[in-house]
Structure 1
Amino acid sequence: MRKPDMVLTVPPGTGVESCAVFFSDRARRLSIRIRPDGSLQMTVPFGVSGKAVNAFLLEMIPWIRRTLPGVRRRSAAAKKADLRFPDAVTLAFPGETFRTEYRWLDKCWTAARLDRESHTLLFSGCVLDGGSVLSAFSELLKRTALSLFPDALTDLSERTGIAFRRCTVRMQSSRWGSCSADGNISLNAKLLLFPPEIVEYVMIHELCHRREMNHSAAFWREVTAFLPDWKIRRSALKREFEKLPEALRRLA
């Protein structure tokens, strides 16, 4: 990997001491990322002043403070458990299985994409770093879930007659969904790994919280009205989670 064009000192209390800056003729805007090892890398278009670069770093400090602990936690967990990414991954919600392939590039990042024609999950970049591979897959799951879940939730909303305000997607260890008082429903991207009937249970569960913001008997009556077999589906969710490869269970 080439040497940085600049190295900036990061203000104390951020959790990292410096930020490597790389100028790029392909960059269209300033961007900053946290590498799996916890270091910072900024990409800057040519022609941007040093003053603007420093100002951008200061602007991103709150984001760095929020994001850095999670990146380090995932990387440490991967190294501690010596996690291996599976040879194939099934996204059961859309019903597709992808064979895992790797393409090493002399980069400090790892990217993941799905090739539906060849049914391949391709990782490219710094693929020898297990933490980087997991982070790339986590981001891929979130993007894919965001392209599928809002429409699926809207269909269920119309079927049940229960409205919601907005659907968001997060990556969490084992919290499958949440519903806020103002009607925002959040779903775990890992639900893509589970069959449609399980995802439907989680979505119905969260929609019913629009009527009962608790887990009272009244809440479960609401769920039962739409899914009489919800107990079977809830048990299946737990079983399917335990069947996931260790690397995928630990995604958060």
Structure 2
Amino acid sequence: MVSLFRRLTTPAAPVIQRDTVRLRLDDAEIDVLRVRDPRARRLKLSVDERGARLTMPLRASLVSGERFLQANRQWLQQQLARLGGDGLLAPALQLREPGVLPLRGELLPVQWQEGRFTRIEVDAGGVNIQLPARAGEPALRRALREFYEVQVRADVGQWLPRYLPGLSRAPSRLRPKVMSSQWGSLAPDGSMALDLALVLARPSAFEYVLVHELCHLLQANHSPAFWAEVEARFPAWRDERDYLREEGRRLKSTLHQLLRAQG
């Protein structure tokens, strides 16, 4: 009875609220994610590969948030320029406009076609994107995500049989997903998650990450014994690790830009 009374009288925890606000910069308009967080004690502006984010305390007014954005426009533009522009592998793909699509370390020319169904295919000439006449940006972004997921599974299916001998078991499941900082992870049940951005990188870097995660089936740590397992299967792992450290932000930023309608 006491526990029931406590549940009935304890106020619900404040909920984080999210929406977007449009901000005009010198050369473009951007959407800023506005987050009202009960844990926030002050206004905070941050930028990463997902875009700009304004965090506000619950009691802060919308007007104060607008003023804070305007006061930090120059800083925001500098950060976005550093992360975008030259920080992307290629200019953002625009619906039905000439462009290129990054895949396996290359930039493939895009050809647009109208059809009954949404479909993305690769051939000797580049990437063919078929869209119904009424399809918009959300349909394109969904198709791109599905396309990259298929490419990830294809690459893993090509490489995995080479590394299965000598492992204690095979991964129980593969989950291609968008990851903020990691390139991959292995859950205790043996399910493996791999970042979709890997399929934008050079194939050898992607293969290294796969080997890295497979070796966690033998050593669930980053001990010398773990790195010995990686070394035995992929001697050039240091080169690929360095490549991902140098190009990782560009790869992840480009993927987020391509899939921006998908969050």
- TM bin, normalised by shorter chain, reads 0.5 to 0.7
Matches within 5 A, 1:230-249: 230-244=237-251, 246-249=253-256
Aligned to 1:168: 174
1:192 aligned to which of 195, 199, 206: 199
User: Does 2:233 align with 1:226?
Assistant: yes
TM-score, length of structure 2 as denominator length: 0.52
The CA RMSD measured in Å over matched residues stands at 3.7
C-alpha contact (below 8 Å) 1:170/1:187 kept by paired residues: yes
Q: Where in structure 2 are there 5+ consecutive unaligned residues? A: 1-49, 53-79, 85-90
Aligned to 2:109: 99
TM-score, length of structure 1 as denominator length: 0.54
Structure 1 residues 246 and 187, CA, compared in 2 at 3 Å: closer, same or farther? closer
Q: Distance in 2 between matches of 1:141 and 1:217?
A: 34
Query: Deviation of residue 249 (structure 1)?
Result: 4.0
Output the amino acid matched with 2:104: A
Q: Distance in 2 between matches of 1:247 and 1:112?
A: 21
Q: Where in structure 1 are there 5+ consecutive unaligned residues? A: 1-75
Matches within 5 A, 1:34-183: 84-85=92-93, 87-92=99-104, 97-103=107-113, 111-125=118-132, 126=134, 128-129=136-137, 131-158=138-165, 160-161=166-167, 163-174=169-180, 175-183=182-190
Aligned to 1:65: none
Structure 1 residues 77 and 100, CA, compared in 2 at 3 Å: closer, same or farther? farther
Q: Distance in 1 between matches of 2:188 and 2:252?
A: 35
Aligned to 1:208: 215
State the identity as a percent: 24
| Structure with greater contact order relative to length (CA < 8 Å, sep ≥ 6) | 2
Output the amino acid matched with 2:178: Q
Equivalent pairs, count: 170
Query: Deviation of residue 185 (structure 1)?
Result: 2.3
Structure 1 residues 228 and 115, CA, compared in 2 at 3 Å: closer, same or farther? closer
Q: Distance in 1 between matches of 2:191 and 2:207?
A: 17
Tell me the secondary structure at the aligned position of residue 231 of structure 1.
helix
Q: Distance in 2 between matches of 1:246 and 1:127?
A: 25
Tell me the secondary structure at the aligned position of residue 178 of structure 1.
strand
Aligned to 1:15: none
